[in-house]
Structure 1
Amino acid sequence: MPDDIEDSLAPLLLDTIGTSGHAVRFVSRVVPPGEAGPVLVMGAGPVGLGVVLALRALGYNDIHVADPNATRLKIAQSFGAKAHPVGDTSQRFALIMECSGAHAARNLGIELVLPRGALVLVGENAAPWTIEEGKVFRRKDFYMIRTFYFPVSDFEPNIELLRKFKDEYRVLVDGEFGLSALPQNFARFARGELIKPVLALG
């Protein structure tokens, strides 16, 4: 780590910054910032919030975020995003970043993505997902992109992303704790009460 990156922020370079930055860079070749219009981010967990900052860094200025967790939604708004109602179908988007991994959100993304737009599957889900070839799926051209983690060549751009938004990324770190406090902090994280709890050994 460069000396100007504190240890508590270094883990963010993995999924929060790495996965998110890679996803946004990848899709920017398909739906560039100047052609995107409003962008929808589904899910404001660590990766979704990272996507908001990566979108801003690459020049996407009209970012909408949907998440049922009010605390996480407020963080997204403090990062410059607009709140979008969960499940709302009144607006469609040329670029949708699906960060929750929920099958219902993926299906909604297929419905909401505009013709010639892109739905990016960033969120993880190990359960099988069946795509139903209904009218919405069949009757428009659109990109459905899966991105995963990031290549080693992204490391330096990710460091620069962290430097650019260091104050924002600090908001995501919920504090350091020792091994004895791991069970209760993991339980709080699983309930959505924490964003990025940091286990500090030694």
Structure 2
Amino acid sequence: MKAVVKTKRKKGMEFIKVPAPQIGPRNVLIKVKVASICGTDVHIFDWTRWAQHRFTPPRIIGHEFVGNVAKIGAEVTHVKVGDRVSAESHLTCGYCYQCNNGYSEVCRNFKLLGVDHDGTFAEYLVLPEHALWKNDHKIPDEWATIQEPFGNAVDTVLAEDISAKTVLILGAGPIGLFATGIAKACGASLIIVSDPNNYRLAISKKMGAHIAVNPRRQDVTQIVMEATKNNGVDVVLEFSGNNQALNQGLKAVTPGGRISILGIYERRVNIDLNKEVIFKKIRIYGVTGRKIFSTWHKTSRFLSAGLVDPTPVITHQFPLKDYEKGMKLMKDG
């Protein structure tokens, strides 16, 4: 079969022929219909500092997809051939302290699809049955493939109640844009989105942003204060992985407010903990993955009920062999 493989410890990938995967008794073979590109894939393509420390070639990349079950192992009981499925990308052990206490998204022994386990940028992939999610028939393939990153946004937004709250979203990549739609659907009274890319800002308005700010041309903190009568926002959602943006968020959040952080930082961040966190009594949530599988239920309902329309975020589609075009578009915005 053909697949996109990271073969070497340097920038780039290859579209090559590889052996078709084999299944064990509890595994499922899936024929991939649609896969989508994540920021993690771009890190691996560019061979960033994060990728150099986290990823070991060779490996088929990708972790977002929708496909059909093509074959099942002898002990598989919950899916059948033909089922349309996606999957949780955190492949958990099921027995560690975190898994046994409701925090399987931070399983001590998890393997990440497309990083530790061959991924979705291929004609077929094999996954354990327990990682699979049966898709609602109301959700089209183009939406089903983005449920995994959409779930990131769900957990970031809904770390606490957001109804009638004022919100600043830092970073309007796909997950930040999904978060904009989720915040709107959940009744946020004011949504401000900050991103240096005007194209992304235009999409944020379609997703429900009331104010779109370009931090290269405008003072984010000043705009937040003007829009909130100098109170600051109740909630900051940080998706950019940018130290300057994080500090803007810390200044913009109201005392007693909260910040949820999903962005991945290339280097250690520099913040004034005393001034911006401790004496403001800020609650900070680190977000990784999704709550398995409760977040998937929420995600499915947001999409199947039409509460959030992700169509403005899904801007391009390519055949697998043109993956480099997709990577370039992700970086260019």
With normalisation by structure 2, the TM-score equals 0.52
2:143 maps to 1:13: no
User: What is the rounded CA distance, in whole Å, between the counterparts of 2:143 and 2:188 in structure 1?
Assistant: 24
Q: Is the 8 A contact 1:18 1:154 kept in 2?
A: yes
Q: Is the 8 A contact 1:64 1:82 kept in 2?
A: yes
User: What is the rounded CA distance, in whole Å, between the counterparts of 2:244 and 2:136 in structure 1?
Assistant: 41
For 2:315, the equivalent position in structure 1 comes to 174
Aligned pair partner of 1:33 in 160, 163, 181: 163
User: What is the rounded CA distance, in whole Å, between the counterparts of 1:84 and 1:166 in structure 2?
Assistant: 21
Unaligned runs of 5+ residues in structure 2 are: 1-134, 226-231
Q: Is the 8 A contact 1:73 1:83 kept in 2?
A: no
Where 2:153 maps in the other structure, the secondary structure is helix
TM-aligned CA deviation for residue 83 of structure 1: 2.5
Q: Deviations over 1:131-178 (max 9, x none)?
A: 334534453211121111211111121111112447731222123221
2:246 maps to 1:116: no
Alignment of 1:41-120 (within 5 A): 41-85=169-213, 86=215, 87-90=219-222, 91=225, 92-120=232-260
CA pair 164-79 structure 1, distance change in 2 beyond 3 A: farther
CA pair 164-4 structure 1, distance change in 2 beyond 3 A: closer
Unaligned runs of 5+ residues in structure 1 are: 193-202
Q: Is the 8 A contact 2:159 2:260 kept in 1?
A: no
Q: Is the 8 A contact 2:181 2:308 kept in 1?
A: no
User: What is the rounded CA distance, in whole Å, between the counterparts of 1:120 and 1:167 in structure 2?
Assistant: 20
Higher mean C-alpha deviation, range 41-50 or range 134-143:
134-143
Amino acid at match of 2:158: R
* Higher gyration radius (CA): 2
| Structure with the larger RCO, 1 or 2 (CA within 8 Å, 6+ apart) | 1
Query: What is the percent sequence identity of the aligned residues?
Result: 24
Q: Is the 8 A contact 1:27 1:120 kept in 2?
A: no
Amino acid at match of 1:125: Y
Q: CA RMSD in A?
A: 2.0
TM-aligned CA deviation for residue 119 of structure 1: 1.4
For 2:284, the equivalent position in structure 1 comes to 144
CA pair 62-132 structure 1, distance change in 2 beyond 3 A: closer
Amino acid at match of 1:72: R
CA pair 137-61 structure 1, distance change in 2 beyond 3 A: closer
Amino acid at match of 2:258: A
Q: Is the 8 A contact 1:111 1:137 kept in 2?
A: no
TM-aligned CA deviation for residue 58 of structure 1: 1.7
For 1:186, the equivalent position in structure 2 comes to 327
User: What is the rounded CA distance, in whole Å, between the counterparts of 1:142 and 1:120 in structure 2?
Assistant: 10
Higher mean C-alpha deviation, range 160-169 or range 181-190:
160-169
More strand by share: 2
Aligned pair partner of 2:299 in 145, 158, 176: 158
User: What is the rounded CA distance, in whole Å, between the counterparts of 1:176 and 1:95 in structure 2?
Assistant: 33
Higher mean C-alpha deviation, range 113-122 or range 56-65:
56-65
User: What is the rounded CA distance, in whole Å, between the counterparts of 2:167 and 2:262 in structure 1?
Assistant: 14
Q: Is the 8 A contact 1:66 1:73 kept in 2?
A: yes
Amino acid at match of 1:27: E
With normalisation by structure 1, the TM-score equals 0.83
